[in-house]
Chains A and B, each alone.
Chain A
Amino acid sequence: MVEPLFDKDIKKAPTRDGYGEAIMELGQTNPDVFVLSGDLTESTRTLKFSKKYPDRFIESGVAEQNMVGMAAGLAFEGKIPFVSSFAAFSPGRNWDQIRVSICYSQANVKIAGSHAGLLTGGDGATHQALEDIAITRCLPSMVVLAPCDKVETKKATIAAAQYIGPVYIRFARDKTPVFTTDNTPFEIGKALMLRDGADATIIACGTMVYPSLEASEKLSKEGYLIRVINSPSIKPIDIDAIIAAAKDTGAIVTAEEHQVYGGLGGAVAEVLTTSFPVPQEIVGVMDTFGESGEPKELWEKYGLTAEHIVSATKKAMERKPRGPKGERAS
């Protein structure tokens, strides 16, 4: 990670820029890579690709269902199509097409959902994809990735191109801290421990990883040692990392810019309940739609700040089993 990690002037960039950079690199290195855009070429950072590789760029217009179907057809002819739109529309609007034409058909298509989460430049709830992890995670054979910053989004996009099979990558519109480096490992199916700790573990994805690090820093000042795990691969999830965290720290918090139902929190809970149950708290949007507003205001109102993660972590630690005299078991 970059140093100093908690510099108030830490470099910030939108994760969608990482997608755009990766797409340009893939255009150069892999002649099979295609990009499809649903009338959102600049917004999804694929404009440069469209200019440099016009033969391999397909403007679908505002027609997300046909867009993923065309992508499936391209994939069956050996191409590697990246379908680029807002997450609210793709996989939001074209879910059945993704289910049948891509997942059930085993088409090697990559779905790139931009503007995931609350930060959509004031567009409001219609454009705030807060359910996309849930609706993709449940699809057989779909890989679901939620990278934490621009650098990791680039790596995730390149890894998606190398992986054979359907992949959904979610990323965001607004600038967020760039805290990983080119040398930070990334692998589909793997989580990465960013900080070790013994009292609890925060498992986060996407834009909530940096606030989780901030939460752990705040808690360290109160004497708690909190492990922080970045889990960009929501499916397949890193089962070993979760069980190890449960065994080592006895309490888990998950944090994601997504509904509390069906997302990373659900994925982690599924592992814990079937393997090594410990108290878990889920930080996310509480079963409600978002609204227009500034990024800071939205994260504050919908419970997605470092302070919210701190409170959830304390609650999880409080719920750890106690001995007969009220002492903590570990």
Chain B
Amino acid sequence: MAIPDLEVLELEAMANTMRQDIIRMLVSVGSGHAGGPLGMAEVFAVLYFRILKKDPKNPFWSERDRLILSNGHICAVSYAAMARAGYFPVEELLTYRKINSRLQGHPHNRSLPGLENTGGTLGQGLSQAVGRCIAGRLDGKKYRVYCVMSDGEHDEGQTWEALMWAGNHKLGNLTTLVDRNNIQIDGHTEDIFPLEPLKDKYEAIKWHVIEIDGHNVREIVAACEEAQHIYEKPTAIICHTVPGKGVSYMENNYEWHGKAPTKEQGEVALAELRAEGDRIQKEMLRAKRGF
């Protein structure tokens, strides 16, 4: 289904807002991960505001789609999306990583309703997604299971155990979104633990693979909708993203994988993001007026 221009812009605007949330959260607490969350803002905006069947006021609704965040360290983007979608007040975002907060540094399913899993030690999410797919299939449920994963966690053996199991058992109700941002803590993935040819590996173990620009809202939507119509295989959407996207000094710099900007750096980041936000708003006005 073609997505209207205005909705594309609205989703881009949401991604921009979430990026600003992320910067404010990180500056407020002085720790956390910057690169991954900024890089996945469009993917999470599309998932929460276009793709997922959900009810923020009833987070345990049995027919909801399940979103498993395997690479838990990018949870800042997940929290921003959830707050903006109405799961909890936006102000609560500033409790991130602080004592007594529901927004743990790595997400904990029992702390915050709406989180489907606990993620932090890498490579565990996909196995849980597989378990949920098995249950859903046996129970004849219509929900889909989405699993967001990092490229770095493909170093983990468990990831491949789960990938092969899902491929062998034709889990058509499973879609993964792989954040292919090419960085991990120690450097570039192809220097540390090369993964290519990643698409070929997935296809060899019976997955349907779609490669997209992970910042292109249209491509994200189209890939998720395509996955919904692949019944005989699980689908992997390899999202090529720029870590630190939207903040010029963070983009593609692996040193920003796991650190927070200072207050001053945060101001620079927010100024850049606001300028981009203004640009999107102007385009939205034009689109509304039919230019």
Q: Are A76 and B116 in contact (CB under 8 A)?
A: yes
Please count how many residues in chain B sit with their CB below 8 Å of the partner chain's CB atoms: 28
Contact partners of B131 in chain A: CB under 8 A:
69-77, 81
Q: A135 in the interface, Cβ–Cβ < 8 Å?
A: no
Query: What A residues does B186 contact at CB under 8 A?
Result: none
Q: In the assembled complex, which residues on chain B have CB atoms less than 8 Å from the CB atom of A97? A: 124, 127, 158
Contact of A100 among B118, B132, B165 (CB under 8 A): B118
Chain A neighbourhood of B157, CB < 8 A: 65
A104 at the interface (CB under 8 A from B): yes
Interface residue A78 (Cβ < 8 Å from any Cβ of B): yes
B124: chain A residues at CB < 8 Å are 65, 69, 97, 100-101
Partner of A69, one of B108, B126, B133: B126
Whether a CB of chain A sits under 8 angstroms from the CB of B109 is yes
B127 touches A73 (CB 8 A): yes
Give A56 to B162 CA distance when docked, in angstroms.
18
**Centre residue among A63, A70, A71, A75 by max chain B CB count within 10 A:** A70
Kindly identify which residue among A73, A75, A105 contacts B110, using a CB–CB cutoff of 8 Å: A105
Q: Which residues of B contact A56 (CB under 8 A)?
A: 138
The reply on A227 being an interface residue by CB < 8 A is no
Contacting residues, chain B, for A78 (C-beta < 8 A):
135
Chain A contact residues, majority secondary structure: helix
| Count, chain A residues at interface, CB 8 A | 29
> Is B139 in contact with chain A by the CB < 8 A criterion?
yes
Report if A150 contacts B (CB, 8 A): no
Residue of B nearest to A101 (CB): B124
Within 8 A of B (CB), among A53-97: 55-56, 58, 60-61, 63, 65-79, 81, 96-97
Q: How far is the CA of A76 from the CA of B124 in the complex (A)?
A: 14
Cβ-neighbour of A60 out of B135, B138, B139, B165 (below 8 A): B165
A69–B162 contact, CB under 8 A? yes
Inter-chain CA distance A76–B110, complex, in Å, is 11
**Which chain A residue has the least Cβ–Cβ distance from B159?**
A66
Note all chain A residues with C-beta closer than 8 A to B126: 69
A180 within 8 A of partner (CB):
no
* B77-126 interface (Cβ within 8 A of A): 108-110, 116-118, 120-121, 123-124, 126
* A292: interface (CB < 8 Å): no
| Known pairs A66-B127, A66-B162, A73-B127 / 13 extra A-B pairs, C-beta < 8 Å | A58-B134, A60-B165, A61-B161, A65-B124, A65-B157, A65-B161, A72-B128, A76-B109, A77-B132, A81-B131, A100-B118, A100-B121, A105-B109
